[in-house]
Amino acid sequence: MAAETRLLANAIRALAMDAVQAANSGHPGMPMGMADVATVLWTEHLKHDPADPAWHDRDRFVLSAGHGSMLIYALLHLTGYAQPTMDDIRNFRQLSSPCAGHPENFLLPGVEATTGPLGQGVAMAVGMAIAERHLNAEFGDDLVDHRTWVIAGDGCLMEGVNHEAAGLAGHLGLGRLNVLWDDNRITIDGATDLSTSEDIAARYRAYGWHVAQCDGHDFASIRAALAEAAADPRPSLVACRTIIGWGAPNKQGTSATHGAALGVDEVAAARKQLVWDSEPFDIPQPILDAWRAAGRRGAGAHEAWRTRLAASPKREELVRRMEGRLPADTGLAAHLDSLAATPQKIATRKASEMALEAINAAIPETLGGSADLTGSNNTKTKAQKPLTKNDYSGRYIYYGIREFGMAAAMNGMALHGGVIPYGGTFLVFADYCRPAIRLSALQQVRAIYVMTHDSIGLGEDGPTHQPVEHLMSLRMIPNLAVYRPADAVETAECWALSLARADGPSLLALTRQNLPQLRTGRSDNLCARGAYRLRGAGAARRVVLVATGSEVEVAVKTAEALEGQGIGADVVSMPCWSLFDAQDAAYRADLLPADALIVSIEAGTTLGWERYTGRHGLNIGLDRFGASAPAEDLFRRFGFTAEAIVPQVIAALENKGDQ
């Protein structure tokens, strides 16, 4: 049996070294080192059905060490997934192939997460394990009862995010999470002892994890360790002592196997060492048959699950949630009616809380939280109970001071499906979780970031806490919808858009300070077009003031002052750039006509606003760090008042006339 398992594992090794050699690019060392462990996991433990990669109750497998992508491509192919085909694998790392350099969830079913940015796979797996327990609490063992498995490398465990994720997992007692650590003692720069002397097992025990160990090339040892991990009620770290590039006789055990093709000679030597006679990309039929048989292992469990699902009164609800369809009523229409009836002068963070009260009552799949700023982010609604180790049905997570861990966990929850995660921190700390926000966007998942204290308007905490460049730099992340609503109505509209956006993340930038409700009456969702004319000019229009968030109020006052001097000024509120840029040219030209002076007003960097104001427009912004003082003092100090802006507009009109 051990010998046979080794043959199966060697099929992974052969594919890994052949594909990397063909591309002359890639990472053979990890797949070859972890092939034995991965083979035991995928043939004896992993609950999945290659015939249906979307089976809701499948185990989740995350290759956190994503550079070893050939490992998962080999596993998917060998166990019988429709993709990747052997041609896909032959084209590893080429434009046409779904076998990208790192695994991409949007290219291949069975790839549960995009990995490669180290540490985040582990952290996303924590989110998946949370989602699983939460849905289990709501839908029961019959419908939701699966594990989350991770393969992680030394890099994953050195990155800071693993500390945040492992701490959270230990706290929440996520016993169905098992991380298999490829303990090969090699990093890119050389031996791990160049840079670390840590006792990783002791550290994980300190988080409340169970730690098992195995010889990663001894099948009895691997089996014992995986069984131990599966049985233990705590999250488990399995330290798999391996040799990187196992099978490549002259290079194994060295960083030379990590990130480059082995070379023709070494591949030939490895074939000899592994007694692997077949041609590149050719798997001997008995070995392929054994793999395919292992791939069919889960079909019975899947069928039994289907039967239970069909009989369950919760079927429709589970399927609705897992398919990411919102309930017909999100609660927001009634909330907007109420705002029309009773305008609110409140901070948009508070407006967000009011919207959430409606949303959380109407949409059972929202799962909120904050990185220890619950009262400041206004992310917790009254009925939300905490999700705890003893009660996973709670819908609020106290993430602790772990912004990156929170964001990565949100990605994992969204990837798992069945929940819509939202989480809060200060906007300035978007920097702390930016790598995960980028992965939300790349992975096309519905994670919703609630980021408050969105400008110098936060006041006294000073420049370390005042975002300046953040809003604009977030707008640049492809596929991230960034919203900065101006009042309670826009906040509700932006929440509606965020929830409806199933194929990408949203980020709401919200104020600490109170803002008047600028929109009265009831209308369509005006934020849906990204920008709209809030006030038309009274006098003949010479100026268009474009602003976002808290500066829309400033724009309105500026327009009033200009109109007082006979200068016609429109006010355009632009809560979402990417939505505005997607409008047709006529709409855009109508809002921002070529013959008017376009003036931007936003308490952040001006770089970027020239997209709308042009080379000779006027940008009222902040291109330096803020300062510590009460918010009103800062707005005055940095010129975000009608008094300061009006003379600049008049001067710009005069200059424009000269040109």
Tokens coding 337: 């009616």
Regarding 418 and contact with a copy of itself (CB under 8 A), the answer is: no
Regarding 329 and contact with a copy of itself (CB under 8 A), the answer is: no
Rounded to the nearest whole angstrom, what is the least distance from the CB of residue 471 to a copy of itself in the complex? 10
Decide: 248 and 269 in contact? Cβ < 8 Å.
yes
Report how far residue 371's alpha carbon sits from residue 423's, in angstroms, rounded to the nearest whole number. 7
Shorter beta-carbon distance to a copy of itself: residue 342 or 464: 464
Decide: 150 and 64 in contact? Cβ < 8 Å.
yes
Is 455 among the annotated ligand-binding positions?
no
Which listed residue (5, 64, 105, 162) binds a copy of itself by CB under 8 A?
162
Is 429 among the annotated ligand-binding positions?
yes
Regarding 345 and contact with a copy of itself (CB under 8 A), the answer is: no
Only segment of 11-19, 77-85, 220-228, 462-470 that touches a copy of itself (CB under 8 A): 462-470
Rounded to the nearest whole angstrom, what is the least distance from the CB of residue 421 to a copy of itself in the complex? 16
Which listed residue (82, 194, 383, 582) binds a copy of itself by CB under 8 A?
194
Report how far residue 480's alpha carbon sits from residue 505's, in angstroms, rounded to the nearest whole number. 5
For 23, 29, 192, 274, 349, the CA distances from 184, given in Å and listed in that order, are 24, 10, 9, 19, 47
Tokens coding 267: 């591949």
Regarding 518 and contact with a copy of itself (CB under 8 A), the answer is: no
Is 349 among the annotated ligand-binding positions?
yes
Report how far residue 219's alpha carbon sits from residue 69's, in angstroms, rounded to the nearest whole number. 23
Report how far residue 201's alpha carbon sits from residue 383's, in angstroms, rounded to the nearest whole number. 39
Please list the residues that pair with 177 across neighbouring strands.
148
Is 542 among the annotated ligand-binding positions?
no
Could you tell me the sign of the dihedral formed by the alpha carbons of 35, 36, 37, 38, in that order? positive
Shorter beta-carbon distance to a copy of itself: residue 139 or 612: 612
Q: How many residues does the chain have?
A: 659
Which listed residue (49, 138, 159, 490) binds a copy of itself by CB under 8 A?
159
Decide: 229 and 151 in contact? Cβ < 8 Å.
no
**Residue 643 bears catalytic tag:** no
Q: Which residue has the tokens 């002076």?
A: 597
Residue 589 parent element (H or E): helix 585-591
Is 616 among the annotated ligand-binding positions?
no
Secondary structure of residue 314 in the 3-state scheme: coil
Only segment of 34-42, 294-302, 475-483, 645-653 that touches a copy of itself (CB under 8 A): 475-483
Is 339 among the annotated ligand-binding positions?
no
Report how far residue 535's alpha carbon sits from residue 17's, in angstroms, rounded to the nearest whole number. 64
Closest CA to 378 of 327, 336, 412, 423: 423
Only segment of 23-31, 35-43, 312-320, 510-518 that touches a copy of itself (CB under 8 A): 23-31
Rounded to the nearest whole angstrom, what is the least distance from the CB of residue 391 to a copy of itself in the complex? 13
Which listed residue (230, 398, 561, 648) binds a copy of itself by CB under 8 A?
398
Decide: 603 and 631 in contact? Cβ < 8 Å.
no
Regarding 330 and contact with a copy of itself (CB under 8 A), the answer is: no
Decide: 544 and 601 in contact? Cβ < 8 Å.
no
Rounded to the nearest whole angstrom, what is the least distance from the CB of residue 258 to a copy of itself in the complex? 10
Regarding 25 and contact with a copy of itself (CB under 8 A), the answer is: yes
Is 186 among the annotated ligand-binding positions?
yes
Shorter beta-carbon distance to a copy of itself: residue 285 or 659: 659
Report how far residue 197's alpha carbon sits from residue 387's, in angstroms, rounded to the nearest whole number. 35
Is 77 among the annotated ligand-binding positions?
no
Rounded to the nearest whole angstrom, what is the least distance from the CB of residue 398 to a copy of itself in the complex? 4
Report how far residue 487's alpha carbon sits from residue 494's, in angstroms, rounded to the nearest whole number. 10
Regarding 133 and contact with a copy of itself (CB under 8 A), the answer is: no
Is 116 among the annotated ligand-binding positions?
yes
Rounded to the nearest whole angstrom, what is the least distance from the CB of residue 540 to a copy of itself in the complex? 22
Decide: 617 and 657 in contact? Cβ < 8 Å.
no
Closest CA to 537 of 599, 486, 488, 483: 599
Which listed residue (2, 500, 607, 651) binds a copy of itself by CB under 8 A?
607
Binding mask 302-321 for a copy of itself (x = CB under 8 A): --------------------
Only segment of 161-169, 215-223, 414-422, 649-657 that touches a copy of itself (CB under 8 A): 161-169
Q: Print burial letters for 534-567: b (CB count within 10 Å at least 16), e (below 16).
A: bbebbeebbbbbbbbbbbbbbbbbbbebbbeeeb
Report how far residue 586's alpha carbon sits from residue 25's, in angstroms, rounded to the nearest whole number. 47
For 65, 162, 400, 506, 535, the CA distances from 167, given in Å and listed in that order, are 20, 8, 10, 26, 50
Please list the alpha-helical segments (H only) found in 342-402: 348-362, 374-377
Size of the site for a copy of itself (CB under 8 A): 108
Decide: 63 and 133 in contact? Cβ < 8 Å.
no
Is 633 among the annotated ligand-binding positions?
no
Q: Which of residues 546-585 bind a copy of itself (CB under 8 A)?
A: none
Is 67 among the annotated ligand-binding positions?
yes
Only segment of 125-133, 289-297, 323-331, 631-639 that touches a copy of itself (CB under 8 A): 631-639
Secondary structure (DSSP) of 239-299: EEE--TTTT-TTTTTSGGGTSS---HHHHHHHHHHHT--SPTT---HHHHHHHHHHHGGGH
Rounded to the nearest whole angstrom, what is the least distance from the CB of residue 193 to a copy of itself in the complex? 8
Q: Which of residues 96-115 bind a copy of itself (CB under 8 A)?
A: 97, 100-102, 104, 114-115
Is 154 among the annotated ligand-binding positions?
yes
Shorter beta-carbon distance to a copy of itself: residue 50 or 98: 98
Q: Which of residues 349-388 bind a copy of itself (CB under 8 A)?
A: 370, 372-376, 386
Catalytic residue, chosen from 112, 403, 490, 602, is 403
Regarding 199 and contact with a copy of itself (CB under 8 A), the answer is: yes
The C-alpha angle 287, 288, 291, rounded to 5 degrees, equals 90
Which listed residue (45, 58, 90, 163) binds a copy of itself by CB under 8 A?
163
Rounded to the nearest whole angstrom, what is the least distance from the CB of residue 627 to a copy of itself in the complex? 6
Q: Which of residues 202-261 bind a copy of itself (CB under 8 A)?
A: 202-203, 205-208
The catalytic residue positions are 403
From the annotation, which residues make up the binding site for Mg(2+)?
Answer: 154, 184, 186
From the annotation, which residues make up the binding site for substrate?
Answer: 27, 258, 349, 376, 453, 461, 465, 512
